[in-house]
Amino acid sequence: MKQDYRHIVLLIGLGAVVLLLLGKIFSLQILHPSFKEDADRNSTVYETIYPTRGIIYDRNGSIIVGNKVAYDIMVTPREVKAFDTLALAVVLDVTPDFIREKMADFNKRRRSIGFQSVTMMRTVPAETYMRFDEVKYKFPGFRGQVRGIRQYPINAGGNLLGYVSEVNQNYIDKHPGEYRSGDYAGMTGIEAAREKELRGEKGYHIYLRNSRNQIEQPYMDGAEDKEAIPGKDIVTTIDADLQQYGQELMQGKVGSIVAIEPSTGEILALVSSPGIDVEQLADIGKHYGEIAKNPYKPMYNRAVQASYPPGSVFKLVNGLIGLEEGVLRPEMTYPCHQGYHFGAGHKLGCHSHKSPLNMEESIMMSCNAYYCYVLKNILDNKKYDSVADGLDHWREMVMSFGFGRKLGSDFPAELSGSIPSSKTYNRAYGKGRWNSTTVISLSIGQGEILATPMHLANLCATIANRGYYYIPHIVKESDGVTIEDRFKEKQYTMVSQEHFPKVINGMWRAVNSAPGAGGTAFIAHIDSLDVCGKTGTAQNPRGADNSVFICFAPMDNPKIAIAAYVENGGFGASYAAPMASLMVERYLKGETSRPALEKRMKEANLLSRVKHD
């Protein structure tokens, strides 16, 4: 059978299939330009340009956080030739196993790495890098990439400044699109609060690789490149000298000192002790374990996170509320017989002082009984339906001083403390089953009241301002860095301004009365500076009482308001008062007239008194 048509059929079929192939190829190569872009994208190299992080200044223009150069050691696995692992390990100051493990890992990931570079070591100090640089030629495929790290010229404000570290996956997920693995970000303190300004913007240069993986030219002549935008500098309200001085004073003690400029609300110093040394901040990764293990919890910023009973300094608030409510007049006197007696044999104790006494004297001598009467009168006021009602009004007025809530500072991780309400006691005792004597310890700042040292400093600033405060803040307005308007608004309390001078007189007398007159804070006296202060001795269920002191100076036109809180420091006058006084003197005069006191304070070590978990 002759099949003369069949080869024609087959040839036609061949022609059809070839047309199909050529058609598809034509469509890919000529009709779809997007493949060209895809190929370009495949062969482009992004070189990330890291911006320099903003510098942090103190209020006087000294640098507290700067930058210094470090290096990341990068590897391009495809370019690595056989090399002397031991020699490289010695130069880079790591174990040979570290390098072997890294190289094995890169080898495992070689398909995804391709021609790219990967980081082998991060932030190698410049000295190490110099050693490496000399012998780099022996290790093809290895190179260094400049990377700025933090530098701290002054040892001031470890906790306050916070640290910068490499972002982890959790952090990247929380800030979608902002960070990539290998980026650094501020994690605590000012570094975290002002991360957006400080970090700047990353840039990149795009290059095209040629077919031999050599960088050939900038992609589109650099039209698509983006230059890095350096981070903005931040000027803080901190006085570096005062901050450093405060830290020195607090050495060996657990507690906090917060200093505020009353006329602006700017935080001058924010000491938390024990704190993190700036040396450790620079290389937080290395020291993190050791910091975390420290039983005194140096990461814990007591200035804004510790909730303490305020103790007797809270009498000022009760006094002011009493005056405002009309249940207290400055000339009213109350007796004190070693305390306040109530109910069947109950007594809230007090120390020996003259009796009876008026309001100014009660502040000067810190009489407990006097404020028991004051609080009782506030709560049992006829204009309120019940004690519960009275307490809730009292609470509202207390909170107008900033207590029991976050002050709203720009400093991260601030805690709110707490002020009890009628609900608190209804829960504890049952509705109607408590009265003003049940809660009598509120009168002297004990019981259910908790406040942070920042709250106390803010109270002091409020009194210094005669009735208002500015929300304490730590960043000053400067070029390109704005602060929110709320930091510039006066926050009035619910107590009329006319009542404040009466309290201030008491505070002045507590510090400036002649020795033997009974003033509790004579130790805080500084010649020619009218320091006004109030001591506090707060009960600490774990050992010795806490030493508390707030003061401001000068009396007229105050420049500084300060709160010192020393755990297990005993009487307010033992540690808190002298330290606050020394701080005031340092800030206003620049030097101390009491070197012996200063020495004694710096050298005192109370750590053995502190019981920790």
Partner 1 sequence: MIEISSHQRGLKQSVDWALIGVYLALVFIGWINIYASIHSTEPSSIFDWSARSGKQFIWMLTSFGLGGLILFVLPPKLWEGLSIPMYIGVLALLVLVIFVSKDVKGSHSWFELGPVKFQPAEISKITTSLVLALVLSQQGFKLNKFKHFMIAAAIIALPMLIIVAESETGSALVYVGFIFVLYREGLSGWWLGLIGLVIALFVGTLTAGSFWAVLLLVGVLVLCSAFMGPGKETGRRLGLGVLFVGLMALVPWLWGLLSNAVQTHVDWIANVTWVPQAGETQDWFWSFILKIKPVYLLVGAGLLAIPFILWHAYRQRDNFLYVAVAAFMFGVAMVFSTDYIFQNVLQPHQRSRIEVLLGLKEDLAGVGYNVNQSKIAIGSGGLFGKGYLHGTQTTFGFVPEQSTDFIFCTVGEEWGFVGCFLVIMLYVFLIVRLILDSERCRSPFTRIYGYCVASCVFMHLFINIGMTIGLMPVIGIPLPLLSYGGSSLWAFTIMIFVFLALYRDEKKYF
Span interacting with partner 1, options 18-26, 188-196, 360-368, 529-537, rule CB under 8 A: 18-26
CB-wise, 10 or 428, nearer to partner 1?
10
Cα separation, 178 vs 160, in Å, equals 25
Q: Which stretch binds partner 1 (CB under 8 A): 175-183, 208-216, 424-432, 549-557?
A: 208-216
What mask, x for binding partner 1 by CB under 8 A, covers residues 57 to 96? ---------------------x------------------
User: If you write DSSP's letter for every residue of 260-278 in order, what string do you get?
Assistant: EETTTTEEEEEEEES---H
Q: Are 285 and 165 in contact (CB under 8 A)?
A: yes
Counting every residue written for the chain, the total comes to 613
Residue type at 468 in one-letter notation: Y
Residue showing tokens 């001598």: 365
Task: Using alpha carbons, select from 347, 325, 351 the residue that is nearest to residue 338.
Answer: 351
Find the part of the chain contacting partner 1 (CB under 8 A) among 13-21, 60-68, 235-243, 250-258: 13-21
The 114-143 contact track toward partner 1, x by CB under 8 A, reads: xx----------------------------
Among 12, 28, 87, 220, binds partner 1 (CB under 8 A): 28
Give 21 or 146: the residue with its C-beta nearer to partner 1.
21
Please name the helix (run of DSSP H) or strand (run of DSSP E) that holds residue 91, with its range, or none. Answer: helix 85-92
10 interacts with partner 1 by CB under 8 A: yes
| Interaction between residue 38 and partner 1 (CB under 8 A) | yes
Q: List the beta strands (DSSP E) in 17-102.
A: 44-49, 56-57, 63-75
Sole binder of partner 1 in the list 52, 213, 333, 505 (CB under 8 A): 213
Residue closer to partner 1 by CB (options 34, 352) is 34
Which residues on adjacent β-strands are paired with residue 341? 347
Q: How far is the CB of 28 from partner 1 (least distance, A)?
A: 4
45 binds partner 1 (CB under 8 A): no
Angstrom distance (rounded) from CA 526 to CA 560: 14
Candidate residues 209, 341, 351, 559; the one interacting with partner 1 per rule CB under 8 A: 209
Size of the site for partner 1 (CB under 8 A): 38
Q: Which is nearer to partner 1, 46 or 429 (by Cβ)?
A: 46
User: Residues with Cβ < 8 Å from 220, sequence gap 6 or more?
Assistant: 206
CA distances from 556 to 344, 530, 559 (A): 46, 8, 9
| 43 interacts with partner 1 by CB under 8 A | yes
Distances from the Cα of 591 to the Cα of 113, 271, 482, 586, angstroms: 60, 19, 33, 5
Distance of closest approach, residue 204 Cβ to partner 1, in angstroms: 19
Task: Work out whether the CA dihedral 114, 116, 121, 122 comes out positive or negative.
Answer: negative
Of 18 and 90, which has the nearer Cβ to partner 1? 18
Residue 3 makes contact with partner 1 by CB under 8 A = yes
Which positions ≥6 away from 489 have C-beta within 8 Å? 470, 471
Is there binding between residue 292 and partner 1 (CB under 8 A)?
no
**Contact residue for partner 1 among 12, 25, 87, 428 (CB under 8 A):** 25
CB 123 within 8 A of CB 103: no
Q: Does 39 bind partner 1 (CB under 8 A)?
A: yes
CB of 112 to partner 1, least distance (A): 10
SS3 (DSSP) at 315: helix
Tell the smallest beta-carbon distance from residue 183 to partner 1 (Å). 25
Using CB under 8 A, pick the residue from 95, 210, 593, 605 that binds partner 1.
210
Stretch of 24-32, 99-107, 274-282, 381-389 lying at the interface with partner 1 (CB under 8 A): 24-32
- Candidates 26-34, 324-332, 414-422, 450-458; binding stretch for partner 1 (CB under 8 A): 26-34
What DSSP line would sit under 140-200, residue for residue?
TTEEEEEEEEEE-SS---HHHH--EEE--HHHHHHSTTT--TT-EEE-SHHHHHTHHHHH-
Q: 220 to 259, contacts with partner 1 by CB under 8 A?
A: none
C-alpha 238/C-alpha 235 separation (Å) is: 9
Instruction: Closer to partner 1 by CB, 212 or 293: give it.
Output: 212
Chain centre distance of CA 433: 42
Closer of 29 and 593 to partner 1 (Cβ): 29
| Of the candidate residues 81, 212, 293, 382, the single one contacting partner 1 (CB under 8 A) | 212
215 touches partner 1 (CB under 8 A): no
Between CA 440 and CA 380 the distance in angstroms is: 12
Among 12, 40, 432, 542, binds partner 1 (CB under 8 A): 40
Stretch in the footprint of partner 1 (CB under 8 A) among 204-212, 233-241, 390-398, 550-558: 204-212
Applying CB under 8 A, does 34 fall inside the site for partner 1?
yes
Per the listing, tokens 């202060």 go with: 533
Q: Rule CB under 8 A: is residue 21 a binding residue for partner 1?
A: yes
Using the rule CB under 8 A, give the single segment among 3-11, 285-293, 461-469, 534-542 that binds partner 1: 3-11
211 binds partner 1 (CB under 8 A): yes
Task: Give me 286's structure tokens.
Answer: 């290395």
* C-alpha neighbours within 13 Å on the C-beta side of residue 498: 6
Comparing CB distances to partner 1, the nearer of 7 and 286 is 7
Which of 453, 328, 335 is closest to 403 using CA atoms? 453
- Rounded to the nearest whole angstrom, what is the least distance from the CB of residue 32 to partner 1 in the complex? 6
Residues 6 or more apart whose Cβ sits within 8 Å of residue 64:
56, 57, 58, 152, 153, 154, 156, 157, 161, 236, 238, 240
Nearest-approach distance from CB 140 to partner 1, in angstroms: 13
Q: Of 29-37, 328-336, 345-353, 509-517, which part binds partner 1 (CB under 8 A)?
A: 29-37
Q: How far is the CB of 23 from partner 1 (least distance, A)?
A: 10
Query: Which of 565, 561, 514, 557 is CA-nearest to residue 535?
Result: 565
CA atoms of 129 and 254, how far apart (whole Å): 40
Which residues would be at the binding site for partner 1 (CB under 8 A)? 1, 3, 6-7, 9-11, 13-14, 17-18, 20-22, 24-26, 28-30, 32, 34-36, 38-40, 42-43, 78, 114-115, 208-213
